[in-house]
Structure 1
Amino acid sequence: MFRHALIVSLVALLAACGKGEPVEQSIRPAMVVQPQPATEMMDAYAGEVRARLEPELAFRIGGKVTKRLVEVGNHVRKDQPLAELDPQDVRLQLEAMRAQVAAAEANLQLVKAERDRYKTLLGRNLVSRSQYDNAENLYRSGMARLKQVKAEFEVASNQAGYAVLRASQDGVIARRMVEVGQVVAAGQSVFTLAVDGEREVSISLPEQAYERFKVGQPVAVELWSQPDQRYPGRIREISPSADAQSRTFAARVAFSAGEVPAELGQSARVFIAHNGAVPLSVPLSALSAEKGQPYVWVVDPKDSRLKRTAVRIGAYAENSVPVLDGLQAQDWVVAAGVQVLREGQQVRPVDRNNRTVKLAAKE
């Protein structure tokens, strides 16, 4: 009786399924990564994100600092005031030069009138030629004196403007070396400005391996805020002399990619390959095998469907395995749950933070 009822129920269920609409299978998320250079074949150096240009800003005259208008971390615009000196001395100097200009102008009017009078008398033969020449020389001397004091007045006027330190370019105040009340000399560094634009990574290279590094050498940069993403770069410059205390050589690494989300002060790691080619690697959790043949699941960027791809691997590392053949750097590989996947299955690619990933190839 129970068997008969079960058969009838199954038949009814099948009939109902046949008449109803097909049930759409939900697209499951799949965590994906791109193959990265095998870290076992690379040296890693800690670094800090810095601006490409970091000019030291200083007053062009000396004096006592009366105002400091910005703090470290503030973003400033070109010509924005940053600090001010006590303007009393430069204002007095400017007033003194203004008075000298007025005196020179009055003197020039006097000697000009005298010259003109002697010129008229010379035409009537009432004065000698030498007397006229003396009046002419006094006039020319007065003109030269006026030109000189006007130039000195311009210098004093410029120095009055130099009492306000302004930003040379758009950027961020990276360092401050002055306090209100401090007396600074002309040219003494007051601020360090991190200019907007290109960012770099500052690293220190060990003395014992200095010969292995050269300008233009390709590297990979990993930001601590994005541990699963590496950006291509190159060594832009290497200091010719070692630091006196650390005995390391300062180097700057420039990003090769166009847009890199690197912010000032962020920590980073720079990976520099050993001599020879560096293979790609994938997480251990991305690898599976069948009949002794290892493979990974590669996601097609066109329709997000899976393709089983055979690979040739090297020696296992702690958390990853080098892939000697079968993958390209721009491929997207499923990094977890590979044992429940099947060929042609459509997935929704996500990263480790469950954010949807746009399957775009690396530049």
Structure 2
Amino acid sequence: MFRHALSLASMFGCALVLVACGNGEPPQQLPRPVMVVQPQPASEARESYPGEVHARYEPELAFRIGGKVVERLVEAGDRVRKDQPLARLDPQDVRLQLDGMRAQVAAAEANLRVAKAEHDRYKALLGRQLVSQSQFDNADNAYRAATARLQQARAEFDVASNQVDYAVLRATSDGLIAQRRIEVGQVVAAGQTAFVLAADGEREVAINLPEQSLERYRVGQDVEVELWSQPGRHYLGKIRELSPAADAQSRTYSARVAFSEQEVPAELGQSALVSIRRDGEVALAVPLSALSAEQGRAHVWRLKADSTVERVEVRTGPFGEQLVPVLEGLEADDWVVLAGVQMLSDNQPVRPVDRHNRPVELAAQE
């Protein structure tokens, strides 16, 4: 009896609760405050790449002959003048070769004197018809061969003399030693790089471009360069050179950016930031936080005139550091939710504010 009375009381209590909740309609959803932004023009969307200031001309200096380094006269960072000695090889071997070639020249000269004397004697005898024509021809050929051998010996002597000079490596122009790659006592081969010289004159910035973005860049394209030593100051420039092949390790393409201005206070080795404006089919760009994806499809939440949001699928371009280019799906006067996009649903009422926490006037988007 007691249990039956308890069951009735429970049923009666549940009925009172249902009556208190009304007629079963869901409670009204309160507007969620959201921060919204408008897509910015793609002309303001840039891709930036770090770089380093280099000289436009950076020849790799090397000995033209092989040998053992006996003296190194400069270090990396030293300023040098044109024709200034930078390093020396052991000259003993090339001097011995020069002495040998000098002896060969002397022997060739002596041989030519003998051949000339024979030639003159046979020529006189031929005029008196005391020797045959064939005998004179043999003497004439010997004389000609001796003349050619002397010319060859003198040419080889000049080569050996040059090699003595090649034992001293000299700067090809005024500039700064950017790299040093040899040590005293090292045996180097002919053509092996000993120094890298940063020649005085124009400066430019070396950057590396990613493989997936290469098609958007071309030689002659305008860029902006900001030196990290001068924040906030931008210099105009152009892409002067673009490598046709990717680096085997980094898989990036090296590029050189030349300054448009004649005199830019850029020192060798300084860090720089090169900004390249996107062009082509990109129309708008939105912040990274405004973009979401589901099942491989990117979308944003767009604000409607009735202060609700709707999910809009968009087609995007390559992601930047802060912005995402939007190729299709948005208009310039749309408002999109900036943050908290994972908490939204279709037709959800919201209270939109801008970055400065000011209410957004919906009439502006109608």
Q: TM-score, normalised by structure 1?
A: 0.64
Give the counterpart letter for 2:128 in structure 1: R
Which residue does the alignment assign to 1:28?
A: none
- The residue number in structure 2 matching 1:154 is 158
Any residues of structure 2 matched to 1:123-202 within 5 Å, and which? 123-202=127-206
1:1-363 equivalent positions in 2, closer than 5 A:
41-275=45-279
CA deviation profile, 1:279-302 (whole Å, cap 9, x unmatched): xxxxxxxxxxxxxxxxxxxxxxxx
| Distance change (3 Å), C-alpha of 1:77 and 1:138 | same
Secondary structure of the equivalent of 2:230? Answer: coil
Q: Confirm or deny: 8 A CA contact 2:43 2:278 kept in the other structure.
A: no
- Conserved in 1, the CA contact under 8 Å of 2:176 and 2:197? yes
* Equivalent residue letter for 1:167: A
Q: CA RMSD in A?
A: 2.3
Match of 2:314 in 1: none
**Alpha carbons 1:223, 1:268 under 8 Å: kept:** yes
SS in 2 for 1:242: coil
Q: TM-score normalised to the size of structure 2?
A: 0.64
Which secondary structure state, in structure 2, belongs to the residue aligned with residue 260 of structure 1?
A: coil
Displacement of 1:39 after TM fit?
A: 11
SS in 1 for 2:269: coil
CA contact (8 A) 1:43 1:271 kept: yes
Q: Matched residues in 1 for 2:171 and 2:165: separation?
A: 13
Q: Which amino acid is 1:44 matched to?
A: S
| Change in CA separation of 1:136 and 1:95 when aligned onto 2, cut-off 3 Å | same
Q: Offset of 1:262 from its aligned partner?
A: 0.5
Q: Which residue of 2 aligns with 1:282?
A: none
Quick check: 84-93 or 118-127, which moved more? 118-127
The alpha carbon displacement at 1:136 in A equals: 1.3
Deviation of 1:168 (Å): 1.4
1:277 shift after superposition: 9.5
Offset of residue 40 of structure 1: 6.5
Ranges in structure 1 where 5+ consecutive residues have no aligned partner = 1-37, 279-314, 319-363
Q: Deviations over 1:26-59 (max 9, x none)?
A: xxxxxxxxxxxx9962222111000111111111
- 2: CA distance, partners of 1:194 / 1:232: 22
TM-fit CA distance, 1:254? 0.6
Q: Please give the alpha-carbon distance, in whole angstroms, between the structure 1 residues aligned to 2:243 and 2:277.
A: 20
Larger mean CA deviation between 208-217 and 189-198 belongs to: 208-217
- Alpha-carbon separation, structure 2, partners of 1:277 and 1:189: 48
Distance in 1 (CA, whole Å) between partners of 2:151 and 2:127 is 30
Q: What secondary structure is seen at the aligned counterpart in 1 of 2:137?
A: helix
Structure 1's consecutive aligned runs of 4 or more residues displaced over 4 angstroms after TM superposition are 315-318
Q: Is the 8 A contact 2:44 2:277 kept in 1?
A: no
- Report how far residue 227 of structure 1 moved: 0.6
Mapped to 1, the partners of 2:283 and 2:110 lie a distance apart of 82
Number of positions where the alignment pairs a residue of Structure 1 with one of Structure 2: 246
User: What amino acid does structure 1 have at the position aligned with 2:158?
Assistant: E
Q: Percent identity?
A: 69
CA shift for structure 1 position 127: 2.0
- Partner Cα separation in structure 1 for residue 104 and residue 267 of structure 2: 53
Q: Which moved more, 1:264-273 or 1:119-128?
A: 119-128
